[in-house]
Chains A and B, each alone.
Chain A
């Protein structure tokens, strides 16, 4: 390419009147020829375009199989989230049922056997008068024992009151004498 042709092509290039073929001609020229100092910038620009075109994505594992695989997880994700949500609901329901059962068990079930007696408390005594008598006797003994304790405490209080009254009387008598 002579200098006249080069000048003509560059003029067309800067005015955006060059064809793709002419631009390719310029690119090849600048890549393969030493250029005068005045055209160094233009040569650098064309070399830049050529270098940038070398940038590629080939080292990235990107193929149809990868795309296909990448495109699928959306559907799988929906199923997974559906299963996950169902399991969450099921876990909530299970916890609720367990709570209801526990409360029901604690409130309405008879208490566990006592420590002292391995025997169970009789559930009902209507059918057996002997057991009914024993249970009544036990209940009355318990009440009696309670009364006994209360009487003892009341006696102590009474003693205290009597002592208090006696002291008050002595105080009254001594004040009269004075």
Chain B
């Protein structure tokens, strides 16, 4: 792989890698570091990677592994920084609506962050990034059945919790 193919094949997936790392780490700075590390790793081993079929899935898998390594080395929970890092702006809303929307987004973010790791990865890959089940199997190294079961549990756990929060304020 030369510089040109690196730019055309690998670099376009940088935002997906960034979001996937962010899902694990919750900190934008650390997610950026992981993406940088992923690219450096790919660039340094580019000669041995000619037979890789799906570059993007392969990059996502490296991102997952490096993010998990980083979590292990830092030994900290993902939920706390994720809450802090959610800073999407809603410019067309009134301050009241904006606050309400932010609260809702933060609440969902917390619910997803509190899911077990596999469920969190899979709901992100499917519902945020729109990957097919086969691609999710390749990225997560799980079989189809495990992927579907985890996705089902993740979606329904979020749904139930949202319903409870809105119904009973829990």
Which positions in A face B, CB cutoff 8 Å?
13-16, 20, 23-24, 40-42, 44-45, 47-49, 51-58, 60, 62-64, 67-68, 70-71, 74
Contacts and interface: CB of A to CB of B under 8 A. Distances in A.
Contacts of B148: 16
Contact of B11 (A41, A45, A48, A63): A63
Contacts, number: 90
Interface stretch (B47-55, B73-81, B102-110): B102-110
If over half of B's interface residues share one DSSP class (helix, strand or loop), that class is named, otherwise mixed; here it is: helix
A174 B80 CA distance: 110
B110 to A, nearest CB: 11
Interface residues of B, number: 40
A54 B22 CA distance: 13
A80 B39 CA distance: 24
Contacts of B127: 23, 49
A67 B124 CA distance: 27
Given A44-B104, A49-B127, A57-B31, 10 more contacts: A16-B151, A16-B152, A53-B19, A53-B128, A55-B15, A62-B39, A64-B11, A67-B39, A67-B43, A71-B44
Given A20-B132, A52-B19, A62 B36 contact: yes
B43 to A, nearest CB: 5
Contacts of A13: 155
A57 B130 contact: no
B91 to A, nearest CB: 12
A140 B133 CA distance: 112
Contacts of A49: 127-128
15 contacts: A14-B155, A16-B152, A23-B127, A41-B162, A42-B159, A44-B104, A44-B162, A53-B128, A55-B22, A56-B19, A57-B18, A62-B35, A67-B40, A67-B43, A71-B43
